[in-house]
Amino acid sequence: MPAHTEPDGSVKIRVESLHYAYQRRGRQDVVALNDVNLTIAKGEFLSVVGPSGCGKSTLLRILAGLQKPTSGTVSIRVDDGSRPLMAPVFQEYSIYPWRTVEGNVRLGLDAAGVPRREADERVREWIHRVGLSGFEKAYPANLSGGMKQRVALARAFVLEPEVLLMDEPFAALDAQLRTILQDELLSICQERDYTVFFVTHNLDEAVLLSDRIALMSSRPGTVRQIFDVPFGHPRTPELRRRPEFGALQDQIWDELRADVQAMARGGRA
pLDDT digits (tens, 9 = 90+) for 216-234: 998 888 999 999 999 988 8
ω into residue 140 within 30 of 0, thus cis? Answer: no
The whole model's pTM is what? 0.89
Which residue type, as a one-letter code, is found at position 127? I
The mean per-residue pLDDT over the stretch 234-257 comes to 91
Check whether 172 has a pLDDT greater than 50.
yes
| Pairing mode of beta strands 212-216, 45-49 | parallel
CATH number of this structure's domain 3-85+166-264, picked from the four choices 3.90.550.10, 3.40.50.720, 2.170.150.20, 3.40.50.300 = 3.40.50.300
ω into residue 237 within 30 of 0, thus cis? Answer: no
Give the start-to-end residue ranges of the domains of the chain: 3-85+166-264, 95-160
pLDDT tens for each residue of 143-165: 988 888 889 989 999 998 999 99
% of the chain residues with pLDDT over 90: 56
pLDDT band at 269 (very low <50, low <70, confident <90, very high): very low
Per-residue pLDDT at 21:
92
pLDDT tens for each residue of 183-210: 888 888 878 778 999 999 999 999 999 9
CA distances 24 to 27, 30, 31, 62, 237, Å, are 5, 8, 11, 19, 45
pLDDT tens for each residue of 69-95: 999 999 999 988 888 899 988 877 678
Closest CA to 100 of 59, 143, 36: 143
